[in-house]
Structure 1
């Protein structure tokens, strides 16, 4: 793989990771409720979803989604429905008030549940779906061995994606004590819920063109 190709890919992934989206909101919410250590599982869930999309793209899913009339639409509506579910769940969550402790979180969040939530959000993330279906294949040089290229691109994505999940989670974790002291933690949940619902609306109304 040429260095300039890798550099362009890294820049594209960096822009995707920095830009606010569903995974950023979920990472911040997990950081506040579960702390930085449990948020590591959020990062693994996000990376796992991306690796699956990357593998599917390399096997031809990108071409299928680009040409199938309903394939992308079905994925888009499924993702929108899940984001809507998350949003409603957060908005209806009960206020734990000042009983919330980062060292002993009151929120029930098993590693399996946190991973499943992050993986589901990641696998239906519109930014990732569009990237892997339309742009990712363009970074593969068909004249060179593909496996080494895929490994380089996968490792690059994993490092950047995981790093920014933890950055968002850590920033939110720092804010958590202040939110708790001012009894505003439930308002953060409602804000997160509203963001998920808004993102769901944007996802399902977005044009496929």
Structure 2
């Protein structure tokens, strides 16, 4: 892609990366409760889900899936229910006074699986890729190569966004200091996920271009 196209694409895509969506809210909560390193490693599991969606868009299947009302609705309700479930679990999670400041012994694989599932069950993600990426393709250019380049840039910037949210969450956790404050952090983080789930349930299918 020409340089001027990259100068338009990169800021626009980074705005998408840092938007406080369900995955970023989860990284924030995990950072507060389990530390920045574990939150970052867990959140990295969302990258394969996004990579698969970008590949589908590059192959042309993204248009078909984005245009399917049934696909969108079914995946939307699965994703919304899962977010509400995770949010309620987070709000009700017990906090031991002696455990404050130490990462709970929850397997990293379990946290990573949650991140992957939240990303994979968000139908708005594939619609976003389908509607957004093609706008930056060069007419008559090598579209597969350009999609791969944009996809790689998206994933790299997504990793930066993960680092930001995990680090911010870790800082919030360090400031909490007491079990009472950590319970408040859990309730706020969990409540944010419940709200995200409700908003996803109410979402209409965006129009792909």
Same fold (TM over 0.5): yes
Q: 1:12 — aligned with what?
A: 12
Asked if 1:22 corresponds to 2:22, the answer is yes
CA distance in 1 between partners of 2:134 and 2:90 (Å) = 36
Asked if 1:201 corresponds to 2:207, the answer is no
Q: 2:186 — aligned with what?
A: 189
Q: 2:177 — aligned with what?
A: 180
1:84 touches 1:196 (CA, 8 Å); kept in 2? yes
1:42 touches 1:115 (CA, 8 Å); kept in 2? yes
**Residue in structure 1 matching 2:154, options 153, 157, 166:** 157
Q: 1:132 — aligned with what?
A: 129
Unaligned runs of 5+ in 1: none
TM-score normalized by the length of structure 2: 0.88
Q: 2:63 — aligned with what?
A: 63
SS of the residue corresponding to residue 183 of structure 1 reads helix
CA distance in 2 between partners of 1:98 and 1:183 (Å) = 12
Asked if 1:75 corresponds to 2:72, the answer is no
1:36 touches 1:169 (CA, 8 Å); kept in 2? yes
Q: 2:51 — aligned with what?
A: 51
> Shift of residue 121 of structure 1?
1.4
RMSD, matched Cα: 2.0
CA distance in 1 between partners of 2:124 and 2:30 (Å) = 20
> Shift of residue 142 of structure 1?
5.9
The more displaced of 60-69 and 46-55 is 60-69
> Shift of residue 127 of structure 1?
4.9
CA distance in 2 between partners of 1:68 and 1:127 (Å) = 12
CA distance in 2 between partners of 1:42 and 1:11 (Å) = 25
Unaligned runs of 5+ in 2: none
Cα 1:148–1:35 shift into 2, 3 Å: same
The more displaced of 187-196 and 3-12 is 3-12
1:61 touches 1:133 (CA, 8 Å); kept in 2? no
Aligned length: 206
Within 5 Å, give how 1:61-140 maps onto structure 2.
61-102=61-102, 105-108=103-106, 110-125=107-122, 127-140=124-137
2:96 touches 2:179 (CA, 8 Å); kept in 1? no
TM-score normalized by the length of structure 1: 0.88
